[in-house]
Structure 1
Amino acid sequence: MRAAARRGCAAIAIAASALTLAAAPRPPGPRPLPAPHASSAPLRAPSVSFPATQVARLANGVTIVSQTTADSPLIGTQIFVPAGLLQQTPDAAGIAGVTAAMVLQTPVEGNATLSETVAAVGGSISYTLAPVDTHYYLECRNADFPRLLHNLRSALRHPAIAGLPAARAKALSAIEQLTKNPLESAYAMIRQIRYQGTGFAFPDSGNALSIRRLSAADVRAYASSYQRGGGTIVALEGAVSPAALAAARSEFSDFSSVAAPALTNPRLVERTNQVVEHRNVTVPWVAVAYEAPNQYSPDFAIMLVIEALLGQGGDVNALAFNSDAAAPAQYVGAYYQYEARPGSLIVFLDGDTGNVDQAIHDLQGGIARLRTTGLSGDLIAQAKRLALGNFYVSIANLSEESWLLGRAAASPDGAQFENLLPQRIAAVSAADVHRVAQRYLSKETVALVLPQAASR
């Protein structure tokens, strides 16, 4: 889920000049690599890390996937609809978020909105904007699930147009706040360059011009466009009963069987880029980005190990817009956006680390070492343990479990993806890290957010 506070970073230094992103200022000179303390025994992941999975595919292409947990009194459901930020056209950037906000505020039982109806029975509902989909999360008691799922499906079908002014105002406010947040600004600058020509080139809330132009007809057309079986996944975790599965089949059986249109490919980044903005901030913020494989690439597990070497700052949802969480004010470390196509590996630095120029230099030195020098087996083993730990720790509740299950169902491996990934991480070698670093970590994009009165 979205990070609201600063995360720890840089557990392993990979450059002789030290890539320790949150360290205090230090004397010049090389810093030795940390002494390895990992066991020399080969790292092995369990063959099965998650419960047995049931998968059903409706005639229209909707996938329903479930895992039952006997000790949970609740059911958590992620509904992935093919209405993500990459499905937006650039001139309608922001429509995904506006439409999702309207869905939650649609009256479903008398005058009670969907959000109010769910809250009245002790449940919760939220949405998260992702590059290739918007996922709605519903958590409630099993007995309430069929009724609440029906309400959600009704709101998805016909978002209340009366809610457009409020949703538009909320989006415009979020856009204004972004300009005051150096972290969000740096991330937006990276996306603007790396995803040119797509809706993901803009912040999750869109841009003010396109938001002001949105009409009721635009929202209706967008809501109609995502009601397709292909790309729609209903992932259920917890107290999943036959009645809950029957409700999921019934509610989504009327989706169109027409295939979703292909995603627009961003303009290829063929050279190193640097962009600078001056904002009313007290310390500089820097984001350095590289191309990375997406989550279904054969190179995905290897890049997760590289992310661990650089110091993971948070999971893939840390910077995604979530209706239940505030935008993060701070984030330092590596951020792997693997849901986008292509993916991006971004390292965030801030002025609290001391000398920003030195921090960038250290990072570039570390990347160069990954690309040109084979790392020791002990260092790779440490990074793999960190990557495995990050993976398991990131799955701590029904929301995260159902998100992972839905992600697995969308993969070429199917539901077994979530059991295969830990094994693939454990199998990564130093040669794999070297190869993937050479392939992806070359053309960097540097975004600098500087105090208004300062220059770099």
Structure 2
Amino acid sequence: MVVIAVENPAADIISGRIFVRAGGRWERRDQAGLSYLLSAVLTKGTDKLSSLEIAERIESVGASLGTDASTDYFLLSLKTVAADFPEILELAAQLLRSPSFPEAEVELERRLALQDIRSQQEQPFTIAFDQLRQAMYQQHPYALSTLGTEASMSSLYRGDLQRYHQTYFRPDNIVVSIAGRVAPEEAIDLVNQAFGDWQSPPLPLTGLDLPKITPNPTWMATAQETQQSIVMVGYQSPSVRNPDYAAMKLINTYLGNGLSSRLFVELREKLGLAYEVSAFYPTRLDASQFVAYMGTAPENTAIALSGLRKEVERLCNTKLSVDELQAAKNKLLGQYALGKQTNAQIAQVYGWYETIGLGIEFDSRFNVEVADVTAEMAQEVACRYFIEPYVSLVGPSAAINTVS
């Protein structure tokens, strides 16, 4: 087990992030949503404590403890005043090591997850993103949301959770990241007390044999009688471990981050095309995606698509000016610094980097790599990835059928 401890005496608070190398990327397609369901029931009982007893322990000291399932990791988060941290860390260890997965709780959370899946199937943005993601990633786990599908979630049961837990929840697959009013040596001692007798199985952990992601840009359209069209373009993009990662993060900031971004200014402010317009480039272990999207009036669907593609792909032909490049760097690095103000944020960043194999030193290296990006480098990266997009449209049939 890897332990990261950062002392920050500014406030009498300690935050912990316990990462498990699990999540959607480690799920078979027919079991998509397994990590999400496990996160929902992990806190509902152990072999010694009931759901009510767990809640009482947390609430009696005013602490917070929660779980989350992401594409590339499973997470247990905790936060307490310093005096109560040993008790809550011990509770977290019980939850991670010996959850009981009560049958009634599993069934309840499965039904709630199915309701969420059905609800999302009615939301235009979710429909557009789901069909884009499935086209881009095909049989790779990234093709599906952390909730999975209605079919996969319906087929999950308590035994599936137990087997998944036995496979991935082991000390050599866990990173514990702690930040707050605690000396590093003391933090490590507390982790030893809570987890020290937990032994890893003798056999090494092996992941899934993931399919190769083969680019095949396509157009997808779903007719839905809505008041606006969702127009979305997606481009295969580098993983966090790719040398192009920092430059792509900078491009994403320039194009789609905030009210001063290029997409917002050009397509919403100047042309009045967009109800909303933005872009995102998620950090991923495997190949990621750059996605630009717009909500627009149905009669503007075709011109909105043309505008999105023009603004993204122009970066291959037009270098960023000195001012544009510096403004994007200032915004990206400023937001990155603001994202590490609290103990919880510090524990999250360091734990995440260690979990994906980059190490905590990537925190400093990322700043340097962003600062070193030149206009020429940004243009080269844009030309490498912004070639032919996947296109996803959702809106009235009369609007999307006219787009070609």
Q: TM-score range with shorter-chain normalisation? A: 0.7 to 0.9
C-alpha separation between the residues in 1 aligned to 2:6 and 2:365? 17
Are 2:200 and 1:256 aligned? yes
Query: C-alpha offsets along residues 410-436 of structure 1, whole Å, 9 cap, x if unaligned?
Result: 355522211221121111101111111
Q: In structure 2, do the counterparts of structure 1 residues 418 and 354 end up closer, same or farther at CA, with 3 Å as the change threshold?
A: farther
1:182 counterpart (121, 124, 127): 124
Are 2:357 and 1:417 aligned? no
Give 1:287-306 correspondences, 5 Å limit.
Answer: 287-306=232-251
Post-superposition offset of 1:139: 0.8
Q: What residue number does 1:78 align with?
A: 17
Return the letter of the residue paired with 2:78.
L
Are 2:78 and 1:135 aligned? no
Structure 1 runs not aligned, ≥5 long: 1-61, 315-329
1:273 counterpart (200, 213, 218): 218
CA contact (8 A) 1:313 1:334 kept: no
C-alpha separation between the residues in 2 aligned to 1:430 and 1:422? 17
Return the letter of the residue paired with 1:82.
R
Q: What residue number does 1:444 align with?
A: 389
Are 2:161 and 1:219 aligned? yes
C-alpha separation between the residues in 2 aligned to 1:260 and 1:293? 26
Number of residue pairs aligned between Structure 1 and Structure 2: 380
Structure 2 runs not aligned, ≥5 long: 260-274
Query: C-alpha offsets along residues 286-314 of structure 1, whole Å, 9 cap, x if unaligned?
Result: 22111111223221111111001212269
Return the letter of the residue paired with 1:120.
S
Q: In structure 2, do the counterparts of structure 1 residues 96 and 115 end up closer, same or farther at CA, with 3 Å as the change threshold?
A: farther
Q: In structure 2, do the counterparts of structure 1 residues 438 and 228 end up closer, same or farther at CA, with 3 Å as the change threshold?
A: farther
* SS at structure 2 position matched to 1:309: helix
Query: C-alpha offsets along residues 132-191 of structure 1, whole Å, 9 cap, x if unaligned?
Result: 211121111222222222222222223333221111111111101111222222222222
Q: In structure 2, do the counterparts of structure 1 residues 417 and 129 end up closer, same or farther at CA, with 3 Å as the change threshold?
A: same
C-alpha separation between the residues in 2 aligned to 1:248 and 1:135? 16
Identity %: 24
Give 1:366-445 correspondences, 5 Å limit.
Answer: 366-410=311-355, 413-445=358-390
Post-superposition offset of 1:213: 1.4
C-alpha separation between the residues in 1 aligned to 2:28 and 2:160? 12
Q: What residue number does 1:200 align with?
A: 142
Query: C-alpha offsets along residues 234-281 of structure 1, whole Å, 9 cap, x if unaligned?
Result: 111112344432222343442526543235434423332111123453
* SS at structure 1 position matched to 2:281: strand
CA contact (8 A) 1:269 1:443 kept: no
Return the letter of the residue paired with 2:15.
G
TM-score calculated relative to the size of structure 1: 0.77
Segment of structure 1 superposing worse, 423-432 or 156-165: 156-165
C-alpha separation between the residues in 2 aligned to 1:288 and 1:418? 30
* SS at structure 1 position matched to 2:10: coil
C-alpha separation between the residues in 1 aligned to 2:388 and 2:208? 23
CA contact (8 A) 1:180 1:279 kept: no
Q: In structure 2, do the counterparts of structure 1 residues 188 and 63 end up closer, same or farther at CA, with 3 Å as the change threshold?
A: same
Q: In structure 2, do the counterparts of structure 1 residues 127 and 277 end up closer, same or farther at CA, with 3 Å as the change threshold?
A: farther
C-alpha separation between the residues in 2 aligned to 1:353 and 1:397? 43
Segment of structure 1 superposing worse, 438-447 or 393-402: 393-402
Q: What residue number does 1:99 align with?
A: 38
C-alpha separation between the residues in 2 aligned to 1:354 and 1:104? 49
Q: What residue number does 1:89 align with?
A: 28
Q: In structure 2, do the counterparts of structure 1 residues 444 and 453 end up closer, same or farther at CA, with 3 Å as the change threshold?
A: closer
C-alpha separation between the residues in 1 aligned to 2:298 and 2:79? 40
* SS at structure 2 position matched to 1:350: strand
Query: More helix by proportion, 1 or 2?
Result: 2
Segment of structure 1 superposing worse, 353-362 or 368-377: 353-362
Which one scores higher on RCO, CA 8 angstroms, separation ≥ 6? 1
Are 2:176 and 1:234 aligned? yes
C-alpha separation between the residues in 1 aligned to 2:159 and 2:292? 40
